[in-house]
Structure 1
Amino acid sequence: MTFSKLNRTDATLSKSRTPNSVSPFSGLCATCLDGCTGTCEVGKSAFRGKEMLYPQPFGTTTSASEKDYPIDFSHFNIMGTAVGAVGIEADSDKAIFPAVNLDQEIGAENKIKLKTPIVIAAMGSTNVAANNWDGLATGAAISGAMIVVGENVCGMDPNVEIKNGRVVHSPNLEARVKAFQDWYDGYGIIAVQANVEDTRLGVQEYAIEKLGVEAVELKWGQGAKNIGGEVKLNTLERALQLKSRGYIVLPDPEDPVVQEAFKAGAFKEFERHSRIGMVTEESFHARVEELRKAGAKYIFLKTGAYRPADLARALKFASDARIDLLTVDGAGGGTGMSPWRMMNEWGIPTVEIESLLWQYCERLKAKGAYIPDIAIAGGITLEDQMFKAFALGAPYVKIIGMARAPVTAAHVGKTIGNAVKEGKIPNLYKRYGETIDQIFITASELRQRFGKDFDRLPTGAIGVYTYFERLKQGLRQFMCGARKFNLASITRDDIAALTREAAEISGIRYIMDVDKEEVEEILG
């Protein structure tokens, strides 16, 4: 069974010469012709080399795995019922889907209140994040959701001030935090993440002490890759600057031979890489204590799709430290900065990693241990996946992590705003009207809510808000059909596995076995 396209994909702008006749195990054309210009990944690698590791065009796309995992959320169906209601009076006039309550609270002691049970997972120093940040952060704030500032924002800030190896001023990070805080109205929160370089630069301490940030996130990898963050640099000066700040820059911009090759046009971009973390139990707890002493009110941990032992470590360390949120990211996603084959071929997919996570939570619960609130991420984009993710991880999964989907909503919203501003409105939008108020279905609601400040809203934020409102209404409809009227009432038996394999992996009942005992009672 072929799970992903080898050697040809739109992600890397590569294709086969003979698309109807391709070797399934190598991805090469069945007949590789001497004289072919080289349009496949192997061919293009012959002249572009390591550039072909990454999705193209680099820096302006988001990307996700094409791999068709054996089990995903489509292998489960949501179970409804015609009987009763949980979380509301079983009255047909009261148990209606608009009455479903999606408010959520997370945190060990001090609670973070949410109107939208979503965290926009870490968006760091990439162009995709930077170009859409106002829409993402403001959209999260007005939706009552959470957002995390990702790694390397300070280190990549051209105007950052560093004294004695520590950040003392970063206009970029300040602007990112302000984009959320200016629209914050009591629901949701913004957190600042740190990798190895950020920790050395004291980024989180700076965010807490100077920017009023209350939440910080430690990071162990991500679902897209098992190495540190990556960006491309198109000037020698920028490459030298970032190497001086402690980053790994390839090729070495200080090498005179490399400098001459760059100036001659032999290559056009340097690569900046981050270091991988070296996790130990002692260093984890020490860092948590440092952050608490620095004034952090909330501490999160984000872990990627590492092997099961690392998932167990993340949960156990988070439990012992009594942190406020653990985000677990299933394999396959990414904002376009990860090596393409790595996106497809590394880590544990979302359903499998969430199933393991539930098992580990149950084991700690049996011992009476503290279980942190959990967010699950990894290719979740629509309300049916949200419901299934809540059910599969119930009662431990409290919110859903997303990245690529909110970015999509933000840049579409931004595109609409630019089109209206320029008076060049595509037919896709023109069928709804030619103004912001006509095209965005939530505009009248937001204009009433914000009054004259509505015109200050980035249209990317309106896009994120409108997308989240769609998700919430869709989720309410599924929950109403399952007769569950708040998030805490969702349980694992609200979904059924459609295959024996999905049932075996997840521990969710096979659909032909659902309600077996109750059926026996009913039929006598």
Structure 2
Amino acid sequence: MSFSKPNRSLATRTRLRTPDSYSPFSGMCSVCLLGCTGTCEIGQSSLKGREVLYPQPFGSMTSGAEKDYPIDYSHFNIMGTAVGAHGIEADSDKAIFPAVNVEAEIGAGNDKIKLKVPIIFPGQGSTFVAKDNWEGFAGGAALVGTVVTVGENVCAMDPNSVIENGRVIDSPDMRKRIDDFRRYYNGYGTIAVQANVEDTRLGVQEYAIEKLGVEAVEIKWGQGAKDIGGEVKLNTLERALQLKKRGYIVLPDPENPEVQEAFKKGIFKEFERHSRLGMVDEEDFHNRVEQLRKAGAKYIFLKTGAYRPADLARAVKYASDNKIDLLTVDGAGGGTGMSPWRMMNEWGIPTVYIESLLYNYLSRLAAKGAYIPTVAIAGGFTLEDHVFKALALGAPYVKLVGFGRSPMTAAMVGRTNAELFKQGKLNTNAGSVEELFAGSIKLIEQYGRDEVSKMPPGAIALYTYIDRVVAGLQQLMAGARKFALKYITRDDIAALTPEAAQVSGIRYIMDVDKEEVDEILK
């Protein structure tokens, strides 16, 4: 069985001439015929070169890996019970699913960030799809009552940023992104600002803390979609020159006269802007945490990607030693769209595997009495069963689940349907934009119809989507008789295969409750 799907994908707009007859390893058609125009990834690469590295159309979509990993969360099932209740009286009139409490909190100190849901929205940075849909994305996060992170490269990518002596002193885009969240902030959640190598050099987080009043910042080591820095495409020479001056790697070199001439002739139409690789060092990490605290950061987060196990151990240990407020671990296979396509599919530790390692490493620290930060797991999660299984697999340490692509999808769908409605192209009985979304009923009760009518459609759509996920999670938790998140344990799920049991340490389904069964039947 081949887990990968090489040489063709909707993401790269490539396909095989003979889709029913191909080599599983190479992905090539079993017969490569002279005269084919080259619809596969090899053929398109021979014409378009590096452009085919990335999902298309670049900047206006999100994408996730197609690789069918040997073990994923579908290889576990949730175990319900007919007996008792945890966190509520075992009374059929009281133990109803709407009574399930799904609120969570983040923080090392007493003044914790309270969340209405155990779901967070990790960093969305300077990509065009994030920028174009940010109002709905951030506004929806505030309505939901959770954490949203402004991702990397935002200030430097803002053409109107003011940078003096190598430090950012103003960024209209960053100000707007924070304001989009604060407009609907209701006392739950927060907005955090992430930083990579270039952001750190530009003092982005210090600017956000000192000038914009941001309380939470995130140190970024990577993500689950790629093990290199971020990239975007630039379609003007002026932007390419500006971003090289701001410290980025820009390819081809926009300062080269021959490159400039080739661009003007249309030989190539876009420059690539790349971020640098971060270099993790224990002392540097400790110093950076201290710098941010001295700058006024109230909460400090760490986000790490799907790197090898030793790097995960470093993340866990450094987060513990420095009393980080939130550690987010991102498994391979996720992503938000700008990652090299084959890299997204073929590198890193997939989410089930990395969460299993994460549980083991945290258990070892806990056994020594070490500080355990609030921990979130991310990497392809979208629905309520994912949330339950992820919390159970990492219990009692994993408290939150990161949703990356899916909330952006909800925001984009809301925006699209609102535009179609205004154009009269949507077949619906709704009398207004807000009536397109079932979740608007709750929002109208809280904010009033006039205020809801002014909300970004993407925000209402995102709120509606998460409201559905929360209701589903409450139902699953009620079925397991767990009426608050803290009662979810690893034995609330069972492994459906011996392989899944071996990787995760979760009991094989045929062995679940074995001791209790023997006691009942003896």
Tell me the residue number matched to 1:130: 131
Partners of 1:265 and 1:206 lie apart in 2 by: 39
- In the superposition, the TM-score normalised over structure 2's length comes to 0.99
* Structure 1 residue aligned with 2:407: 406
Specify the SS of the correspondent of 1:10: coil
Other-structure match for 2:517: 519
Structure 1 partner of 2:469: 471
Deviation, structure 1 residue 170: 0.2
Query: d(CA) in 1 for partners of 2:174 and 2:216?
Result: 14
Q: By how many angstroms is 1:468 displaced?
A: 0.5
TM-score normalised by the chain length of structure 1: 0.98
Matched, 1:172 2:173: yes
User: In 2, Cα distance between the equivalents of 1:27 and 1:510?
Assistant: 35
1:361 corresponds to: 362
Q: CA deviation at 1:241?
A: 0.5
Structure 1 residue ranges, 4+ long, deviating more than 6 angstroms after superposition: none
5+ residue gaps in structure 2?
none
**Distance (Å, rounded) in 1 between the aligned partners of 2:259 and 2:252:** 7
Cα deviation for residue 116 of structure 1 reads 1.7
1:277-292 alignment runs, 5 A limit = 277-292=278-293
Question: How far 1:437 sits from its partner (Å)?
Answer: 4.0
For 1:19, the equivalent position in structure 2 comes to 19
Q: Contact 2:434–2:457 at 8 Å: present in 1 too?
A: no
1:218 matched residue in structure 2: 219
* Aligned equivalent of 2:101: 101
SS of 2:482's equivalent? coil
SS at structure 2 position matched to 1:11: coil
Cα shift at 1:435: 2.7
Listed as ranges, the gaps of 5+ residues in structure 1 are: none
Write the deviation string for residues 51-108 of structure 1: whole angstroms up to 9, x where unpaired: 0000011111100000000000000000000000001111110000000001111110
Alpha-carbon separation, structure 2, partners of 1:390 and 1:232: 37
Secondary structure class of the residue paired with 2:52: helix
- Report the Cα offset of residue 433 of structure 1: 3.0
Instruction: Output the CA distance in 2 between the equivalents of 1:206 and 1:169.
Output: 8
Select which of 404, 428, 433 maps to 2:430: 433
1:334 shift after superposition: 1.3
* Distance in 2 (alpha carbons) for counterparts of 1:444 and 1:366: 47
CA distance in 1, matches of 2:78, 2:247: 50
CA contact (8 A) 2:62 2:405 kept: yes
8 Å contact kept, 2:434–2:460: no
Aligned residues: 520
**Alignment match, 1:392:** 393
Cα offsets for 1:405-433 (capped at 9, x unmatched): 000000001112112222221x4xx2x53
Q: CA deviation at 1:255?
A: 0.5
CA distance in 1, matches of 2:488, 2:157: 42
Counterpart residue type for residue 442 of structure 1: G
Q: Show the counterpart of 2:239.
A: 238
- Distance in 2 between residues matched to 1:421 and 1:285, nearest whole Å: 52
Tell me the alpha carbon deviations over residues 190-237 of structure 1, each in whole angstroms, 9 at most, x when there is no partner: 000000000000000000001110000000110000000100000011
**Which of 430, 442, 460 is residue 445 of structure 1 equivalent to?**
442
What secondary structure does 1:232 align onto? strand
SS in 1 for 2:186: coil
* Percentage of matched positions with identical amino acids: 70
SS at the partner of 1:454?
helix
Question: In structure 1, what is the Cα distance between the partners aligned to 2:77 and 2:365?
Answer: 28
Give the equivalent residue in structure 2 for 1:423.
Answer: 424
Give me the whole-angstrom Cα distance separating, in 1, the residues matched to 2:124 and 2:309: 25
1:474-485 residue pairs with structure 2 within 5 A?
474-485=472-483
2:192 counterpart SS class: strand
Per the alignment, residue 83 of structure 2 pairs with 83
Structure-2 separation of matches of 1:148 and 1:392: 25
**Aligned partners of 1:277, 1:47: CA distance in 2, in Å?**
33
* One-letter code aligned to 1:464: L
Contact 2:433 2:453 in 1 (8 A): no
Q: By how many angstroms is 1:434 displaced?
A: 4.8
The answer as to whether partners of 1:354 and 1:393 remain within 8 angstroms in 2 is: yes
Aligned counterparts, 1:446-461, within 5 A = 446-451=443-448, 452-461=450-459
AA of the residue aligned to 1:65: A
Q: Is contact 1:128–1:335 with CA below 8 Å preserved after alignment? A: no
Query: Equivalent residues in 2 for 1:199-210 (5 A)?
Result: 199-210=200-211
